[in-house]
Chain A
Amino acid sequence: MNNAAASQTSEVSTKAALHSSQIVKIQDLNVFAGDHHILKNINLEIPRNKITVLLGPSGCGKTTLLKCMNKLTDLYRELKVSGSIFIEKDDILNTTTNIPSIRQKMGLLSQRPYPLPVSIYRNVSYGLKLKGVRDRKLINFSVEKHLREVGLWEEVKNRLNAPATSLSIGQQQRLCLARGLAVKPSIILADEPTSALDPISSKIIENLFKDIKKHYTIILVTHVLRQAIRLADHAIFMIDGEIIEQGDPEELFKNPQTEELRAYLVDGN
């Protein structure tokens, strides 16, 4: 899938000396599904411990871009991915690091919550168990810590062994966040995480993001302009597989440089 040779890789990685304030750097990323060019020459940088919003209309390739970052694109044989994605200093598209450990650097929050078909407790402990943690005390501690982190502990502490599916959908989404945080990622990939939620649950998730960005870098995909304005520290606007504009959100939303973004801002408001 990755057609760059190893020698090229080392050359590229020296060139791409990552600034310490950046955690992700994407260079010349292209994704094809057959003849369909889904992502076109993506070049971007994502700042550390900030909320970066990927904004754009549905079908513009935001989700695919997100899936490239934790290599879920591997699941789809029809997708051809080329270019480089540096996470910290490792080009994950051309690396020998094993995929599970790359994925554990990132927590994924999808459009609707997908709790595993086990108990609440075991949803959170799942990632730890995969990492090989066997110490009960440590697992208990971690489960409580991360359920507290997402504000779910008080609601579920008396029914940790109940099936995760017995929670409300908003609670499930927070559980999925806790589950992702438990593997100690540095990045959180959030793919329209509030699109299936009611306004109150959405607000809880948004506030959570604001709280936890001290410790994590959040990459949020959304097509809701208001949400982008509320949360973004850095914004990237995409249309049709291309990055149209990126930069400081205030600047971007006040003085759009392109016709596309201007039109989107008008429609979105």
Chain B
Amino acid sequence: MQLRRKIFDKITGFWMITSLITILSLPLIIGTGLYLKAAPLFDQQSFFSLIFSSQWAPSKGEFGFWPFIAGSLYVTVLSFLFTLPVCLLAAIYLTQFSSKQLIKVMHPVIDVLAGLPSVIYGVWGILIIVPFVSKYVAPVFNTTSSGYSVLSGGIVLAVMCIPYILNMLIEIFNTVPVGLREASLSLGATRWESVKHVVIRGNFPGIISAYGLGIAKAFGETIAVMMVVGNVVKVSINPLDAAYPLPALIANNYGEMLSIPMYDAALMFAAFLLLVIILIFNMIFRYLIHKTKRQ
């Protein structure tokens, strides 16, 4: 009996450590794999010119990733600008002002939205957002647009991220004890002042991490964005122009056109870039959380 328990204890211990090591080393293995696959590219072009060059002509052996990086960042930033106020205000309203019934109704709605496959958001974007941008938004600025644009990508991405971020914010705001709100109100604060000082300031690290996770998810989102963003290789400041984000580049081309020399290495490099950029995002947000927690 003793022996059996000892052996069992050893096995579970060993198993836990093995799975932990596997999980910890996964990013490293993936990163190294991608880097090694992309390595042949570095013999041709410098790392700097790979990232900042806008020349994209695979058949001539020119690989400049700047249009893709810029496209990804632009779509992500736009979606962030849309989600920031919407999610924050909705979460505040749902947790601090609305009746309990409304939250009961909203929870399944948010869960359904969060669970929809991204291809559905893509189709919805093509049917609604793209024509909307082309017919109504572009004329306002006296230009024409096919509607397949950074703006459409940003909107679709924002809608996809809203349930995800909103859920996290609601969880965070629900942890504010009623007593704290009452304390603030009893000192003469209005409801909004209480929300500002108690709910928002008190949960700043949590809010940052919710948005951080949201952005990291948005940056890597592929299908829905690819369907509405136009996929044209160019760098433009105009949100009504098309763009070509990194994940779309990989998804559109991998498996095809691999007869072109170095093309697969270039796509691996795109994947590697994606990994590194998301890693950087995560590090920035970790730092911000750390910084606000100490205050």
Interface residues of A (CB under 8 A from B): 67, 70, 72, 75, 77, 100-101, 103-104, 106-108, 110-112, 114, 116-118, 126-127, 130-131, 176, 179-180, 183, 189
Contact = CB atoms under 8 A, between A and B. Distances in A.
Interface string B172-211: 0000011111111111111001000110011000000000
B188 A101 contact: yes
A108 B182 CA distance: 9
B180 A116 contact: yes
A114 B180 contact: yes
B186 A117 contact: no
Given A116-B197, A116-B198, A75 B188 contact: no
Contacts of A70: 186
Contacts of A183: 187-188
A118 B179 CA distance: 16
A112 B179 CA distance: 8
What 5 A-B pairs have minimum CB-CB distances, sorted nearest first? A117-B202, A108-B186, A104-B188, A127-B187, A114-B179
Contacts of B46: none
A260 B201 CA distance: 47
B202 A72 contact: no
Nearest to B189: A130
Contact of B185 (A103, A112, A179): A103
A67 B179 CA distance: 12
Nearest to B190: A100
B143 interface: no
B197 A106 contact: no
Interface in B78-108: 99
A117 B176 CA distance: 10
Nearest to B188: A104
Interface of B: 99, 177-190, 193, 197-198, 201-202
Given A112-B179, A114-B180, 15 more contacts: A101-B188, A103-B185, A108-B182, A108-B183, A110-B182, A114-B182, A116-B183, A116-B184, A117-B198, A126-B187, A130-B187, A131-B188, A176-B183, A180-B187, A189-B186
Nearest to B182: A72
A106 B198 contact: no
B185 A72 contact: yes
Contact of A118 (B177, B185, B193, B197): B197
B181 A75 contact: yes
A126 B201 CA distance: 13
Nearest to A76: B178
B95 to A, nearest CB: 13
A99 to B, nearest CB: 8
16 contacts: A70-B186, A72-B185, A75-B181, A104-B187, A106-B186, A107-B186, A116-B183, A116-B197, A116-B198, A117-B198, A118-B201, A126-B187, A126-B197, A127-B187, A130-B188, A131-B188
Nearest to A179: B187
- B181, B183, B187 — which one has the most chain A CB atoms within 10 A of its CB? B187
B112 to A, nearest CB: 27
Nearest to A104: B188
A114 B99 CA distance: 24
Contacts of B186: 70, 72, 103, 106-108, 180, 189
Nearest to B179: A114
B47 to A, nearest CB: 44
A203 B99 CA distance: 40
- A108, A111, A179 — which one has the most chain B CB atoms within 10 A of its CB? A108
A64 B269 CA distance: 65
Contact of B182 (A75, A100, A127): A75
A241 B99 CA distance: 26
B124 to A, nearest CB: 36
B188 A100 contact: yes
Contacts of A108: 182-183, 186-187
Contacts of A75: 178, 181-182, 185
Contacts of A100: 185, 188-190
Nearest to B204: A117
A114 B184 CA distance: 9
B179 A110 contact: yes
A210 to B, nearest CB: 23
